[in-house]
Homo-oligomer: A and B are copies of this chain.
Amino acid sequence: MNFASDNAGPMHPRVLDAIIAANSGYEMPYGNDTIMPRVRDMIRATFEAPQAAVYLVATGTAANALALSTYTNSWDTIFAHRVSHVEEDECGAPNFYSNGAKLTLVDGIGAKMDPDALRRAIATTGQKDVHSAQPGPVTITQATEVGTLYSLGEIAQITAIAKDHGLKTHLDGARFANACAALGCSASDMTWKAGIDMVSFGGTKNGCAGVEAVIFFDPEKAWEFELRRKRGAHLFSKHRFLSAQMEGYLSGDLWLELGAQANANCARLVKGLETIAGAEIPDTPQANMVFANLPRAAHRRAMGAGAQYYLFPSDASLDGPDDELIRARFVCDWSKPTSEIDQLITLLRG
């Protein structure tokens, strides 16, 4: 009963099979394997972007930091939501890879940038001429860190503001598939058609072992990215094993199927949570993650039986009044068996 994160789950069998298949014989290293051209073509087809530059790395943080750094001067500031992976969970990787750029934190409910807040933040950046950090790219997360979604219109609104100021836009898609499945839109709808310039397209949380694609719809800085990737030590010698994962993930739109499955698992979980006496679910979950305030006694039962998930604050105690609500985060990946979800609910309900 592990609901701690979607990075706690296994590879999907088809991704594993792709690795096994890729393991026969010899392949030239460093991205020159015979699988990568197929991956490139599949991603270009998936995103309807025949010119896109496509690269693979192994971690989401690498994808974000390398992509952003390609369009960030060291004296720039990146616009990101206060509750975003680049700000909260990467130990300053974007600052490191951009050689010391800053992050300007933009607010907005549900971990989504408020367009007015973004507009104000950009407008007040660089006002002091050479004394100020200068406006750099805008990055949004889809699905967000709290499981909410930007609508296509909301993405377009954010990117329009960026473009008004000549700024590039990045989409952190560690949970791209969940978002795409939930919105029922195409990969292109959610990206370049909505004004996004570059994407971190996540595989790791959704059935892969460790692979993320970085996609630039305009390939002008492709060579620079390759240098940055190598310099950052993120170019794999046995690159075929990244390529293979991504091929397995894209084939037959497995990525989308798994994203939808994770969402469905979460919806089942939410439905169950709603039946628990006293439970509160502040934001409406839209993808594969739910935050819920539940009575301490419920947590005591579930965790006592071995359920794994995070409480907030992280040092919240299970000792105390039964009815006091403690916030918890539950994340589902594609692999979660229905029986485990139901068992968790049963335990929580008591």
Contacts and interface: CB of A to CB of B under 8 A. Distances in A.
Most buried by B among A7, A127, A226, A231: A231
Contacts of A16: 19-20, 23
Could you say how many copies of this chain the assembly holds? 4
Contacts of A28: 2, 4, 8, 308
A128 B30 CA distance: 12
A271 interface: no
Interface string A4-24: 110111110000100110011
Contacts of A231: 74-75, 90-93, 96
B236 A210 contact: yes
A226 to B, nearest CB: 5
A139 to B, nearest CB: 15
A25 B9 CA distance: 6
Contact of A58 (B58, B226, B232): B58
Contact of A5 (B29, B61, B95, B314): B29
A180 B105 CA distance: 35
A3 B232 CA distance: 27
Interface in A292-343: 308, 313-314
Interface stretch (A36-44, A114-122, A129-137, A247-255): A129-137
A101 interface: yes
A15 to B, nearest CB: 9
A30 B204 CA distance: 12
B91 A131 contact: yes
Interface string A227-252: 11111111111100100000000000
A121 to B, nearest CB: 12
17 contacts: A19-B209, A23-B209, A58-B58, A58-B210, A59-B236, A60-B237, A73-B224, A74-B231, A88-B132, A89-B128, A90-B131, A90-B230, A91-B132, A92-B231, A96-B99, A96-B231, A233-B234
Interface of A: 2, 4-5, 7-11, 16, 19-20, 23-30, 57-62, 65-66, 73-75, 77, 88-93, 95-103, 127-128, 130-134, 204-205, 209-210, 224, 226-238, 241, 308, 313-314
Given A8-B27, A130-B227, 4 more contacts: A10-B26, A74-B96, A89-B131, A96-B232
